[in-house]
Chains A and B, each alone.
Chain A
Amino acid sequence: MSSIYSEIILDYYRYPRNKGSLPRAQIHARDTNPLCGDVVEMQLELDERNIVKDVKFNGQGCAISQASASMLTELVKGKTVDDVRKISKEDVLSLIGGQLTAVRLKCALLSLKVLKTGVYDYIGSTDATKEEPSIL
């Protein structure tokens, strides 16, 4: 059986890209996965055209949750807020690759959930739940 733990995942886990914090971030959200105790925090700094100028994540947890958060930061950099809003769970899963069990999907998609929560808070939309990744 091929393992979900590819070299890429392990590389992002060990050497996370864009880990840290942005004091001047306009978008800031954090959430946890109570099942695993994964924590992910996302901060996005936007320019005047609502383009993601910089992005950082912070957190702790399993390799899947932390690697996917790091990969997601690379995906959103340079995108408009509206494009960030349109990122789907399939986009995130294709970054990770491999087959995840239902329980581990929550780990993989935690960062996307956090990102969407932050973006919707920023846009001021009230139906953030609509775009939340449905998981199980």
Chain B
Amino acid sequence: MLRRRWVGASSSTSPKATSHAVAAIASYRKARNRLPGLAVPKSTTPTTKLPLTFPGQLAQSTVRGYATQKQATAYIHGKEPYDVEKVRHDFPILKRIINGKPLAYLDSAATTQKPRDVIDELTRFYNEYNANVHRGVYKISEEATAAYEEARAKIARLINASSPSEIIFVRGTTEAINLVAQSWGRTNIGLGDGIILTEMEHHSNIVPWQLLAKERGAHLKYVGLTDDGHLIHDDFRLHLESGGIKLVTMTHVSNVLGTINPVREYVREAHKQGCPVLVDAAQSVPHIPVDVRDLDCDFLAFSGHKMCGPTGIGVLFAKKTQLEEMPPYHGGGEMIREVHLYESTWKDSPYKFEAGTTNIAGAIGLGKAVDYVSELGLRNIQGHERELTEYAHDRLGKVKGIRIYGPENPGTKAGVISFNLGDVHAHDMATLLDEDGIAVRSGHHCAQPLMERLGVSSTTRASVYVYNNEEEIDRLAESVKRAGRIFKI
């Protein structure tokens, strides 16, 4: 029955979740209909100001001088403009005042803020249908089960998995990777085998493999980085051809540099050698369209809390063929078919990997978050973040003494901007920004090997998401300048 729902269901987003986006689109269409003259031929660069009602966006864009054309081009291609001010209304926390200033939250690579829809759904779950799943035969347990499985189906659709049974609920990216290391890794990796990683991995995609390698007598091989934060493809090829490689595990998007790695190509090359690939998608699934069948990766891990969902819930995608061969990770209730005194048999995936009572509310909340980001549209989110990133590079790049790490062309990377200013330590920078109500991350970002490669002990990192606007980037740039004045850079 659940399978049928997955195959046949149309997207079941709540009307509330989409109200702002829909309103934005409607008002845009109205404006467009009133203004037939707006249909600018592709070849013409419009020089007149478009009389549309997106005040913040248009004013800023016009000042920057190129987005008028961009907006017209977007119109020609039928792409709706992204109304960030409408989106901001969905996030109650943005009303907070910090040190006398409105909160400018620029730490979404660490965790994102939550839209009202997600917060409300968590409350609704506990108020109205809190029950354990897959067990009760009573009404609210059935409701909870349906919502839980619907969330799984939504996630499967989001990343284009072949079936919801390829989606395993875990605590987060870290647990997803540990699950693969402990279950798949201990089965398939032995003495002298190799695992390929990259120098830009988060600790969560390094340490589980170190533990496994130590236990099994395997070794780790790292793909190095160029100075502007791209993977050295030849390193990868050399490692792959050196033989004995049993797994490639790599991040899709760097949480420090914002580099978007060409995962699809790497997967193709790895598969030619019969080697499966795990993708750490913690920084990609929330920000760019991700299609696991297109990437053809064997495993993919991401966290709910980095995409508007609650903390403590995340996802491991794995190909069905892999899951069938993998032994359970945790033993306990709910994952068994039959238990006898001395042996047991397991349920099929995904339940085989979901022992005990899972984070039901978290999963349902994540389902709501998937609705929310899907309604905004991953392509729109990517476009919005790219514009902000370009703007941030432009604004910050002009600050005297600044160094921005990673790809020089902001148009090729994700919305993560890591920088240092003169000899100002990142923690001092973050404290000074906090005085201006700006939340950024400072430190090694759980990527110490990458810090070593960059030759720094820490960086300050600003990262953007659906709700950030250019005004916040302006405030960031001004506050960084203030830090420069205080430290006499």
**Is A5 a contact partner of B428 (Cβ separation < 8 A)?**
yes
CB proximity of A64 to chain B, nearest CB, Å: 7
CB proximity of B457 to chain A, nearest CB, Å: 5
Contact pick for B487, options A4, A10, A64, A107, CB 8 Å: A10
Closest A residue to B486 by CB, please name it: A5
**Is B425 a contact partner of A61 (Cβ separation < 8 A)?**
yes
**Is B487 a contact partner of A60 (Cβ separation < 8 A)?**
no
Complex Cα–Cα for A104 and B434 (A): 12
**Is B435 a contact partner of A37 (Cβ separation < 8 A)?**
no
**Is B487 a contact partner of A62 (Cβ separation < 8 A)?**
no
Q: Chain B contacts of A123 at CB under 8 A? A: none
B393 interface hit (Cβ, 8 Å): no
Please indicate which of the listed interface residues B424, B431, B458 has the most CB atoms of chain A within 10 Å of its own CB.
Answer: B431
Q: Mark A1-17, 1 if CB is under 8 A from B, else 0.
A: 10111000010000000
Number of contact residues on B: which range applies? Answer: 10 to 19
Q: Mark B338-354, 1 if CB is under 8 A from A, else 0.
A: 00000000000000000
**Is A1 a contact partner of B435 (Cβ separation < 8 A)?**
yes
Interface residues in B243-299 by Cβ distance below 8 A to A read none
Q: With A37-B457, A61-B425, A107-B427 in contact, is A5–B444 under 8 Å at CB? A: no
Q: Mark B102-120, 1 if CB is under 8 A from A, else 0.
A: 0000000000000000000
Closest A residue to B436 by CB, please name it: A1
**Is A36 a contact partner of B488 (Cβ separation < 8 A)?**
no
**Is A10 a contact partner of B435 (Cβ separation < 8 A)?**
no
Complex Cα–Cα for A4 and B23 (A): 45
Complex Cα–Cα for A1 and B97 (A): 13
**Is A10 a contact partner of B488 (Cβ separation < 8 A)?**
yes
Q: Chain A contacts of B432 at CB under 8 A? A: 3, 5
Complex Cα–Cα for A36 and B435 (A): 18
**Is B435 a contact partner of A3 (Cβ separation < 8 A)?**
yes
Q: With A3-B435, A4-B431, A62-B428 in contact, is A37–B486 under 8 Å at CB? A: no
Contact pick for A101, options B431, B443, B457, CB 8 Å: B431
Q: Mark B413-436, 1 if CB is under 8 A from A, else 0.
A: 000000000001111100110110
Instruction: Spell out B's residues near A (CB within 8 Å).
Output: 99-100, 424-428, 431-432, 434-435, 442-444, 457-458, 486-488
Q: Shortest 7 CB-CB distances between A and B: which pairs?
A: A62-B425, A62-B427, A37-B457, A63-B428, A36-B427, A62-B428, A1-B99
Instruction: Spell out A's residues near B (CB within 8 Å).
Output: 1, 3-5, 10, 35-37, 60-64, 101, 104, 107
